[in-house]
Amino acid sequence: MQPLLSPEEIATQAPGDILTNRLPADRLFAQRADRLRTLAAGHAMADFLLFCARIADVQQTALERLRPLTQRPDEGLLLRCRQHGMPPLDAQGADLPDTWYEVLTTLSRELEPWAPPVLQSALLSLPGLGRPALDALARSILRCEASPDTVIELALAPLVGAALQVTWTARALALNGQDIPSGFEDSLCPACGSHPVASIVRIGDAGHGVRYATCSLCANEWHVTRIKCVPCHNTKDIAYQGLEGEEGALNPGVKAETCPACQASLKIVSMEKDPFVDAFADDLATLALDMLVDEAGFHRAGRNLFLFTP
């Protein structure tokens, strides 16, 4: 564990003009698929990462079909959300968009030939589960909880999570940057209210060294202070840990940022170290880092919808 720079030191280095929110890229899932394939090379979990890349490929196709059908929220709702700092694409309490189930059907059909045996078996059971049960599973995933009244087919959870990502990413891409509340730096996404998967230190047009939390659901990125615990906002004694191998650092662009106040760990991926990092993909490829910080007494704060457990 090594201490990071103090908040005061970071503040003196921060650029004056920072984008508060960054909407997802048009080719988000295609770029993620490419990154997963790169990470799979020589990886102990290569088969898993390659299947995740195939999911991302299908997600990109589904996103391109869904975007023309996705409308902006009502202007009155957008105004109220901006005024009160509420997410306009609320994933916690609002009704599920009907399109999510259509996306799930598309993903299941196109991925079935490539699915591992456990998922193939679950896909065969999908038609018999019925829409209410699948809606209940979707809500459980969005709310990070399991319903005691619902039998959850956990093998289907990553596919349901993938369908929800496509649905909310399409909704986020229907927004303008100014539609999302700003000035409310928080632990949850200001666009949809979901948890981050990790944070990312960007370069280029976002400003050198500027940090954003990356939403696990809609992929919106929101600016967060560089040295600050995203879950609890503590700024004292923040530290990070990485994976080390015989020849030096493994995945040098990925660290686990740990907070002694809330005992949380959230990964931070750095484009300064690797310009091709993807918060979601690199999180999947560094699960060993989660085990390492867990042994040190820190719990994982990032959410990855391909890793859902109730």
CATH number of the domain enclosing 190 = 3.90.1670.10
Same domain, 96 and 128: yes
If residue 216 lies in a helix (H) or strand (E), which one and from where to where? Answer: none
- Is 38 domain-assigned? yes
How confident is the prediction along the chain (310 residues), in pLDDT tens digits per residue?
A: 434 444 434 433 444 567 899 999 999 999 999 999 999 999 999 999 999 999 999 999 999 999 999 999 999 999 999 999 999 999 998 899 999 999 999 999 999 999 988 888 888 888 888 899 899 889 989 998 765 444 456 788 899 999 999 999 999 999 998 999 987 678 999 999 999 999 999 998 756 789 999 999 999 999 999 899 999 999 999 999 998 765 556 788 999 999 999 999 999 999 999 999 999 999 999 999 999 999 999 999 999 999 865 5
Same domain, 127 and 147: yes
Q: Are 158 and 166 in contact (CB under 8 A)?
A: no
Specify the amino acid at residue 27. Answer: R
CA dihedral angle for residue 46, residue 102, residue 128, residue 49, rounded to 10 degrees: 0
Q: Phi and psi of 299, rounded to 5°?
A: -95, 150
Q: What is the pLDDT of residue 258?
A: 97
pTM (2 decimals)?
Answer: 0.91
- Is 238 domain-assigned? yes
- Is 273 domain-assigned? yes
- Is 308 domain-assigned? no
Q: Give the Cα separation of 35 and 253 in Å (integer).
A: 13
Last residue of a domain, one of 163, 178, 193: 178
- Is 82 domain-assigned? yes
Cβ neighbourhood burial of 235 (10 Å; 0-12, 13-18, 19+): middle
Same domain, 49 and 163: yes
Same domain, 77 and 168: yes
Same domain, 281 and 143: no
Same domain, 193 and 167: no
Nearest one of 198, 111, 90 to 156, comparing CA atoms: 111
Nearest one of 102, 95, 153, 82 to 123, comparing CA atoms: 153
- Is 100 domain-assigned? yes
Last residue of a domain, one of 128, 159, 178: 178
- Is 310 domain-assigned? no
Same domain, 34 and 7: no
Last residue of a domain, one of 178, 208, 237: 178
Same domain, 169 and 216: no
Cβ neighbourhood burial of 200 (10 Å; 0-12, 13-18, 19+): buried
Same domain, 136 and 12: no
- Is 110 domain-assigned? yes
Same domain, 169 and 215: no
Task: State how many domains the chain has.
Answer: 2
Q: Give the Cα separation of 229 and 91 in Å (integer).
A: 23
Nearest one of 260, 279, 214 to 32, comparing CA atoms: 279
Same domain, 11 and 77: no
Note down the domain range covering 215. 2-22+184-300
Q: What is the pLDDT of residue 309?
A: 59
Same domain, 191 and 294: yes
